[in-house]
Structures are given as C-alpha cells and as structure tokens.
Structure 1
Amino acid sequence: MKISIYGQTLEEMINRKIREVKADVGVAIIINSKDTLAINNEHNYPMLSTYKVHQAMKVVDFLREKTVPLTKEIEIPTSQLKSNTYSPLQQKYPSGVTLPVSEILRYSLQLSDNNACDILFSLVGGPMVVNRYLESIGVHDCNVAYTEDEMRQDINRAYDNWTTPLEGAIVMEKLFCGIEIGDDQYSSFIKEILYNSKTGEKRIPCLLPKDILKIAHKTGTGPKKEDGSILGVNDIGFIELPNGKHYSIAIFIKDSYEDMQRNELLIAEISEIVFNSLK
C-alpha cells in the first residue's frame, strides 16, 4: 500500500516516528477491508487486555449457539471476585452479586475488568476454547493461553497470550466488517460497548476529532518488569471516517523503556498519522 502525505508514504512516516523509541513497536492497518500495511509484523506481541475483544467474540458465539439471551443472569460468588487485581466489579460488589451476561461483558470490555474477564472464561470453557473459536473464523497468528489471574501469578505468561499486529487488526476487521461472527443483537452489542470504551483515552482516540468520527477501541497494558521496562502498552481499534472510509488499526508496544506517558503519546501520534493520511 502506497498512501503518501507530504511526500512520504504512510509506512515511512510511521517508521520515522518509531525509529528512536526504546521499545519494540508493531503497527498494522486495514483500510476499507482491502488495503493492508503491517510494520514489524514478524514479531509477536503480548495482547494483554486487548484479548478481551477476542474473548467477547467467543462469548457471543456461545450465547448465540445456545440461544441464551444477553439478559441471562450469572451468579458471581466472592471466590470469583479477587481483590488483588484490577476490578471495578469487585470494588462495587465485594460480597458477590448476580448480573446479566451483558453487564459482565461491559465490565470486561468497557472497564477492562480482570475478574469479569475470568468469569467469562469460566462461562465458555477457558482460554483454549477461545483459541479454537478464533481458528474457526480464520484468526491464526495469535494465541490465547492464560486467564487474567494466571497472568497475574506470573507476568511472563503474558508473552504466551500473543498476536502479530496484523492479526490484531484482523480481529477488529472481522468483528466490525466480517461475516464469520454474524450481524445480530449479540455482535451489535459488543460493537456498541467498544464504541463507548472508557479506557485508553490517551491512545488511539486522543488526537483525533471525536466529534466527526466513530471510534471503537480496546486497550491492553502490562506491568513494569524488574529490568525497568514496561511489558506492553497496546490499543486496537476500528474507525469510521466522514468520507465513508473505515479502517482497523492495531498498535502494540512491547518491552518499552519509555515511560507510560511517552508510550501512550506514541500510540496517539501513530493514530493521528494514519488518520491524516486517510481523511
């Protein structure tokens, strides 16, 4: 793909932006479900919480297959509400609660709640079930191996929940434009959640004109490691432009020695470069 702006191709502009960054940065874009660009796609990146999109796609497939409504209530005991992880759900309901699947999905996707994510893993049968589903819809260059709690116990397990940048963009493309997962109340619901994401405002959406765009995205963030690097700072998204164009985008930053502010700004700047080349 040879999209140019100011005499440079989009690939050249992104490579110039990431050249001096002390991190492994991977970027992929799919434009109008046709043209693709992938940078550093030969590397695998820990998905972190971006895999909550992959999981949600399996959850709605499970509900659809079993004709279970999104209003189906799930009892959540205190044993599933761990306090040593990021969980607005646990903070609100420390003694347990019964919630519809739709609300658990909102906690997982919109607030990136780790307990909600693991409750959904329990519902569908675990990470390997999600992996098999992804393969069935043609998503191959990624791997879902561990739950949030298992990653919390050993942060190195996050590297086993990996994707290539292009496959990250493909997942968003399949969700928003594909036919494999269906176009019904189930898939529409998770798309609506992602259009109203509450996390990562300093990443993909940050420098874009939100008043004229439809932006759906999901972030992922890893911890700081013993060597001082941040394990991962990610964002995957789907953006609809006023001119009728749309694109899926995935930006993954792995093993970064930059601070969090710089990592998030880099994602925002790459997102802005892509937008300016397509508007």
Structure 2
Amino acid sequence: MDAKEKVLATMKEAGQPLNAGKMKIHQIIFNPTGGTQRVSEILLFLLLTFFLAYIQTTEVKGQSSYFSYGASIMNGELYCGHQEDSAFAMHSVMKFPQALYVADYLHKKGLTLSDSVLVNKDSLDAETWSPMLSIFEGMRYFTFAELIEWSLKQSDNNACDLLFASCGQPDAVEKYIHTLGFKDIHVQLTEKEMKKNPHRAIENSATPKEMARLLEWFYLHRDDNKNISFIWDTMADCNTGQQRIAAVLPKDGKLIHKTGSGFPSSDGRQDRNDVGIVLLPDGSHLSIAIFLQKSKEEKGVAEVAEQCLMRIQADGFLRNMPSDLQMP
C-alpha cells in the first residue's frame, strides 16, 4: 500500500469523505473541520516523508517548466529555507526597503507624509511600468504618501525613482538598511538604471533569509511611528501578485507584501518574487520571502509558498508530535 492509499484508508476509517483527499495542503492544515483534528495529525505525519524531501530539491516542477528558487520562512523560533543564503535579484521588491528608508528620512528631516514634491510629467519615463502617468498632464504636486502608495501598491517605477531623487539615492537606502543590521541586502541601482542595464539587476540583491529577517523587523516595528504604520497599511493593500503568495493564503489569513518581476527573456521566462508577512487567523504570523529565477508561470511562487507553509507547520508538528505517532 503506497502513501496515498494509506492516507485514504485512514480517512475512510475515520469516516472522512474520500474526496477530502483532493483538498489543498493548506486547506487540510489550516481548516480542519470539526472532529477531524486527529485525522489532520495523521495526514500530516504521513505526508512529512514526501514533503521534507521535496522542499530540499533545487528545482520545482510546474505545469510546463522548471525553475530554481530561494525561499525563507520564519515564525519566532520556527524557521525553514531553501538556498536561503544565496543572493537573488530583488527587482521591485527593492521598493520595500526603499520605503523603510524614506520613512526614516522623513522622520529625521522633520517632514511629513503630507509634504509634497512638484513633478513634471515630461521628465518621467513614458516607456516603463508607471500607472501614475495616467492621472495627470503637465505638472502637479505629489505628496510623499502618494508616491509611496504608487510605488508599493502598484509597483510604479517612476514613483520609485522620484523617491530616490527626493529622499536619497540607492547607496543611501543600502546604508540605512545595513545600519539596521541587514547586510545581505544591497541597493545600488534606480529603476531607470535597471531598465537601461537589465543584466545589472543582481546589484539590487537580497538573500531570502535576510529579507525574511527584515520582514520580522518590520513586523516588530510596525507601530513605531505614523510613517512605518503607513507603509504597513499600504503593503496590506498591495494590488500586484494576486496569483503568488496571496493565492495560497489560509482562510481568513491576511498578507502584507511586495512583489518583484524581472525582465522577460525571449522564451517568456522571468524572475518572479514575492516577500511579505502572513497574518494567520489565530493571531500569529509568518514572514516569508520567495525568489524565483527564470520561471515561465506566475503560479510558481504560489507553489513554493504552499510548500513553505506546509514545512513550517511540519516543523511545529514534529516539535509537539503526539506520543503515539513518535518513532520508537
């Protein structure tokens, strides 16, 4: 009898409908129905052998492609990762540490989110991803709050570069992030510079573990001041990447995140990233950072995220395994 048959047999013995075996992993773990907690424990135990081996592979198979990835997930003392100490290009994930720098810059300079900068549309790049271009002609003032919202919620490249021009260049952002203790995050290029030299995108890099650590810092400091709280609320309304981590959120879970996407290759492959904080229904949280390289499909991030959610639950389960399921 193989593992799948064992799972179905266990469910049948417990009176659980066999079609429940078609549930996704996160549905089984986070949404056990009444009276099935024991079944969930046994299901998880049987799946561990296969999952713990799978998460360590260097490639993940999607519907029609293979891609390499780095991932890190943290929850207090619980931690797991894959290639978590390798550097990956952040792409627009860079706008998250930039926003933290801007929050600090405004605070130190005595400026507020309501202060504004004058923007001339003719000075902006009309051939980059920039939804803000559609809302004005000529010149108009944008508040710092508006620029941060465009940059984080819509991943607007012009808004990002306006923040660089108004508050500090990439080296200033990197210096600030390093002073916080996150030295494996590097910011060297503006969006305009990355567009001009796509091969240099790796100069804006992070390791999955360091990004997860920065997310943990963000979680702990989210109420420090109005500027950081504003970034938190803005990332909670992020409009990009709905088929990434958001696609595998547990029921009633919430996501505070920032996505990033690389320049597509001739065969349609591109880097696809998503980093964020998952707020679970029980009040706990998970910090998760996923960086995919040369992926053909948007759902690749969701596949890795689902594995990570399974893994962190598995680690917690192993630490508190019922005695009758422990190996002699």
TM-score range, shorter chain: 0.7 to 0.9
TM-score with structure 2 setting the length: 0.75
- Counterpart of 1:29 (choices 63, 73, 98) is 73
Q: CA deviation at 1:85?
A: 0.2
Structure 1 position 190 matched with structure 2 position 231: yes
Q: Deviations over 1:36-85 (max 9, x none)?
A: 22211232110001110000000000011112111001111124421110
Give 1:101-250 correspondences, 5 Å limit.
101-178=144-221, 183-209=224-250, 212-226=252-266, 228=267, 230-250=269-289
Alpha-carbon offset, residue 11 of structure 1? 4.9
CA-CA distance at 1:16 after TM superposition: 5.6
- Distance apart, 1:267 and its partner CA: 4.2
1:273–1:82 distance in 2 versus 1, CA, 3 Å: same
Q: 1:253 to 1:237 in 2, by over 3 A?
A: same
Q: Deviations over 1:190-231 (max 9, x none)?
A: 000011111111111112245x222111100012124x3634
Matched, 1:260 2:297: yes
Q: Which structure: greater helix fraction?
A: 2
Query: What RMSD over aligned residues (CA atoms) do the two structures have, in Å?
Result: 2.4
Q: 1:66 to 1:37 in 2, by over 3 A?
A: same
Moved more, 193-202 or 8-17: 8-17
1:146 is paired with a residue of what secondary structure?
coil
1:91 CA displacement: 2.2
Residues 99, 274 of structure 1: alpha-carbon distance in 2 compared, 3 angstrom cutoff: farther
| Ranges in structure 1 where 5+ consecutive residues have no aligned partner | none
- Note the C-alpha offset of 1:171: 1.7
CA 1:11–1:126: 2 relative to 1, 3 Å: farther
- Are the structure 2 counterparts of residues 219 and 157 from structure 1 closer, same or farther at C-alpha, using a change threshold of 3 Å? same
In the alignment, is the contact (CA less than 8 A) between 2:152 and 2:258 conserved in 1? yes
In the alignment, what sits opposite 1:14? 55
1:80–1:115: 8 Å Cα contact kept in structure 2? no
Distance 1:186 1:132 in 2: 19
Q: SS at the partner of 1:6?
A: helix
Q: Find 1:98's aligned residue among 120, 141, 152.
A: 141
Give the TM-score taking structure 1 as reference length. 0.87
The answer on whether the counterparts of 1:205 and 1:271 sit within 8 Å (CA) in structure 2 is no
Deviation string 1:220-273 (CA, Å, 9 cap, x unpaired) is 0012124x363410000101212232110001001x2x4233434434533553
How far apart, in 2, do the equivalents of 1:62 and 1:50 lie? 19
Q: Distance in 2 between the 1:120 and 1:152 partners?
A: 17
8 A Cα contact 1:202 1:268, kept in partner: no
Could you tell me which amino acid in structure 2 is paired with residue 73 of structure 1? S
Is the partner of 1:23 in helix, strand or coil? strand
CA distance in 2, matches of 1:122, 1:217: 24
**1:15 & 1:247 partners in 2: Cα distance?**
20
Determine helix, strand or coil for the equivalent of 1:84.
Answer: coil
* SS at structure 2 position matched to 1:244: coil
Q: Decide whether aligned partners of structure 1 residues 110 and 274 sit closer, same or farther in structure 2, where only a CA change above 3 A counts.
A: farther
Provide the secondary structure at the position in 1 that maps to 2:188.
coil
Deviates further, 137-146 or 12-21: 12-21
Larger radius of gyration: 2
In structure 2, the gaps of 5 or more residues are 1-40, 318-328
Give 1:94 deviation, angstroms: 4.1
Partner of 1:206: helix, strand, or coil?
Answer: helix
Equivalent-residue separation in structure 1 for 2:270 and 2:163 (angstroms): 24
